[in-house]
Structure 1
Amino acid sequence: MTRWTASLPMYNVTPEHAAWWRSLLSDSLAIVARASDLGDITIGNAPAGELMSHWRRKDLLLSQTCGYPYRMLGLANDVHLIATPIFDAPGCEGPRYRSVIVVSAQAWKRGAKTLEACRGLRAACNGADSHSGMNALRHAVAPLARDGRFFASVLWTGSHAATLRALTSGAAEVGAIDCVTFALLHDSHLAPFDGVQTIGMTASAPGLPLIASRALGEEQADVLRDALDAALAADPERARKLRLRGFARLAGEAYAEIETFANTAAQYGYTELR
């Protein structure tokens, strides 16, 4: 019997959000199980630090990735693009999103109220393979960089929440946060993010895609897409808590914009966030 695994690792910003995402996933897969004979399905947790290998699993029924590994690191060659969520958050337009550019309270008081005024500050970034934290910020900074440099240093934090903590602790002064993550964290009223100031947003790009292994057939992929729509509609309150309005069915080529961000920065000679 075929066995499948599924997880939604990208927007579990609090334990409560993780539970709501797991509930949505469970309901979606229950609909899939009734509509298609796929065999056993296990809802698991994506291993921290090993997401690329997780996303390339042959038995992956559903997960969520970032547009950067999907387009720039070859993941598109290994997976089905199932859908792109549509969120209700400042910075989102349909299935597109932006990054919120933020500075620490101390940097704000010293006059860092525009991106250009952030020259020479200490940046924080969740990861080098992140569109929202790295690629979008690199694209925004590139026209302002001099000799391939803009920031005094870059601290790699591992997550957007950790980037915000770095700003509040004084370990860094500026960063870019996925606008959906930023909105969900604000909803949770977490005190450690008090004092962080928004100074702008990056250009928009297609949101974080839901993916499945290419071992899944095309008809089964369509069943999965329909199941996501049905599960979302079945619980409006859960959708509200997740700021989730729907799912768009984009073509994979829509994510070429992610590469355009990188290419534009390279034209300015700014190939690394620094």
Structure 2
Amino acid sequence: MTAAAPVANARMYSATPETAAAWKSLLTWVLARAGLDWPVVDYPPPAPLNALWARDDLGLAMMCGLPFAQRDAAGGAGRPQLVAAPVPAPPRYAGRPVYFTDIVVRADAPFQTLADTFGGTAGYTLADSMSGGVALRCHLAAARAARGARLYARAVGGLIHARGVIEALARGAIDVGPLDSYYHDLLVQNAPHFAAQVRTVATTAARPIPPLVATAGLDGSVMAALRAALAEVATEPALAGERHRLRLAGFAVPQAADYAPLAAMAAADIPSFEEL
């Protein structure tokens, strides 16, 4: 029996139907350029991303940097291979495969600074999400220590993704929450009216952006072909529309070790959201 081909997927940054279609087109081009007859599979919400990342047949799929770092540190058969990482085009990324957490409030809220939100309700996506949970806790930890008391009266979790944070802010369920900056930029580009419901009051330090990984165990020639095709994305005329839609400059190949600090952040002894 012939083994099933690995699959490709970009669900993590499919912020809108338009971006989902652009990613599918781009990945289809990359696979064809690399000479790989792999399917680009759909995996729409609300299917859980953790279940996608647990698959052992991923050939080219976006994964949050935190579970990648944790699984890389654990080693063994479940260790993903890092293929490449997107380089967002907006100037704040400075041509690097990094991202931030934008800390946002409702557009018409009176808050001008992050400190103005103290005493209110903080929201987060999932406690084990890098951009939607861990990065915000780490950013707030110093203020919590300096204050010696809780920063927020209440915390609301389980918002799942960036859209959930924006929706919670819009209905007044929370006063402040975190957005993956690249996802945020994709919403500004492709769903401006939805994105305009919030504004940024603070931004965390830059950290390595969620990478494209493989769990299927690619050999060296396949990895080289994929990386060569991804390198061509930056200049390929046929992908100009996709690059514009995705606010994408191209792809880089960071080191797996670049992601190790994310696992350390998650393991650090800092207050939980219920203690912030």
TM above 0.5, yes or no, is yes
2:47 matches 1:46: no
Instruction: Name the Cα RMSD after superposition.
Output: 2.3
1:58 pairs with one of 51, 56, 59: 56
Q: Which amino acid aligns with 1:61?
A: G
Q: Which amino acid aligns with 1:66?
A: C
Are 2:22 and 2:242, in contact at CA under 8 Å, matched by a contact in 1?
A: yes
1:89-122 superposed Cα distances (whole Å, 9 cap, x missing partner):
354231111111111245x31xx32222221221
Q: 1:189: how far off? A: 4.0
Q: How does 1:29-44 map to 2 (within 5 A)?
A: 29-33=31-35, 40-44=37-41
The whole-number CA distance in structure 1 between the counterparts of 2:92 and 2:133 is 17
Q: 1:147: how far off? A: 5.9
**Corresponding residue number in structure 1 for 2:139:** 140
2:240 pairs with one of 236, 239, 247: 236
**Corresponding residue number in structure 1 for 2:200:** 198
1:54-108 superposed Cα distances (whole Å, 9 cap, x missing partner):
22323211100111111135687321000111001354231111111111245x3
**Structure 1 unpaired stretches of 5+:** none
Are 1:91 and 1:201, in contact at CA under 8 Å, matched by a contact in 2?
A: no
**Corresponding residue number in structure 1 for 2:87:** 86
Q: 1:153: how far off? A: 1.7
3-state SS of paired residue (1:183)? helix
Distance 1:91 1:259, change over 3 A: farther
**Corresponding residue number in structure 1 for 2:226:** 224
Task: Report percent identity of matched pairs.
Answer: 32
1:122-157 superposed Cα distances (whole Å, 9 cap, x missing partner):
122222222111111111110112567432222321
Q: 1:167: how far off? A: 0.7
Deviates more, 1:2-11 or 1:18-27: 2-11
Q: How many residues align?
A: 263
3-state SS of paired residue (2:34)? helix
Q: TM-score, with normalisation over the residues of structure 1?
A: 0.86
**Structure 2 unpaired stretches of 5+:** none
The whole-number CA distance in structure 1 between the counterparts of 2:191 and 2:245 is 13
**Corresponding residue number in structure 2 for 1:125:** 124
Distance 1:125 1:220, change over 3 A: same
Are 1:69 and 1:75, in contact at CA under 8 Å, matched by a contact in 2?
A: no
Are 2:22 and 2:246, in contact at CA under 8 Å, matched by a contact in 1?
A: yes
**Corresponding residue number in structure 2 for 1:256:** 260
Distance 1:71 1:250, change over 3 A: same
3-state SS of paired residue (1:58)? coil
1:17-73 superposed Cα distances (whole Å, 9 cap, x missing partner):
11000000111111222xxxx6x5222123644433322323211100111111135
The whole-number CA distance in structure 2 between the counterparts of 1:54 and 1:133 is 18
2:22 pairs with one of 20, 23, 33: 20
Deviates more, 1:170-179 or 1:224-233: 224-233
**Corresponding residue number in structure 1 for 2:113:** 114
**Moved beyond 4 Å, runs of 4+:** 73-76, 271-274
Q: Which amino acid aligns with 1:46?
A: Y
Distance 1:129 1:218, change over 3 A: farther
2:217 pairs with one of 196, 215, 226: 215
The whole-number CA distance in structure 1 between the counterparts of 2:70 and 2:167 is 28
The whole-number CA distance in structure 1 between the counterparts of 2:73 and 2:120 is 33
Q: 1:193: how far off? A: 3.6
Are 1:56 and 1:79, in contact at CA under 8 Å, matched by a contact in 2?
A: no
Distance 1:239 1:141, change over 3 A: same
Q: TM-score, with normalisation over the residues of structure 2?
A: 0.86
Are 2:102 and 2:179, in contact at CA under 8 Å, matched by a contact in 1?
A: yes
**Corresponding residue number in structure 2 for 1:69:** 67
3-state SS of paired residue (1:192)? helix
